[in-house]
Amino acid sequence: MLSNNAVVVYFSRTGENYSVGEIEVGNTAKVAQVIASRIGAPTVEIVPVEPYPNVYDEAVAQATQERSAGARPAFTLVAGDGADNPAAMLDSAETIYLGYPIWRSDMPMPVYTFLESRDWSGKTIAPFCTHEGSGLADTVASIRRVVVGATVLDGMELRGAVAQNDVDATVRAVDGWLG
């Protein structure tokens, strides 16, 4: 699965989170950082233009409303480690490791906006998610429907509480997935 030309792209949320309380680094961001360190790839974060509320129940209400409406919230891409031009990083990458939390058995709507905004022809996408019981849900199939021309690999799922609180278990899960 490794590619010498890869980038780790992820959406993650801080603030009050289910089962882990108030956090400063999102669950999915923690997994993305482990993947990036294991494969030596840069990271790019999908950041919604309108941030989600810090309070968990308010964030859930907003996410539920967006999903019901089929919303496609605007986003920006932020490259990690001070790199610039994340769009160019994506254009040149052969493999994109795509991370997201599972919200109400689906990807957050900004991830759909991101996926629908690019040409994925010839790319390989390796999805990974954090969740608290849903696993990957049907997100791999959803990604396959959206990214025409790309190869979508089987995904990795990890409970958010594990990603947030158990670095060793997160590294083992990532290493097992990466092979």
Domains of the chain: 6-170 (3.40.50.360)
Reported confidence tier of residue 81, pLDDT bands at 50, 70, 90 = confident
108-144 pLDDT per residue, tens:
999 999 999 999 999 999 999 999 999 999 999 999 9
32-42 pLDDT per residue, tens:
999 999 999 99
Can you tell me the distance from the alpha carbon of 142 to that of 23, in angstroms, rounded to the nearest whole number? 28
Q: Of all helices (H) and strands (E), which one includes residue 95?
A: strand 95-101
Joined together, the tokens standing for residue 23 give 């956090």
Prediction pTM value: 0.95
DSSP characters for 57-72?
Answer: HHHHHHHHHHHHHT--
pLDDT given for residue 173 in this prediction:
98
Taking CA atoms, 147 is separated from 6, 113, 126, in Å, by 17, 12, 12
Percentage, residues of the chain above pLDDT 90: 92
14-64 pLDDT per residue, tens:
999 988 999 999 999 999 999 999 999 999 999 999 999 999 999 999 999
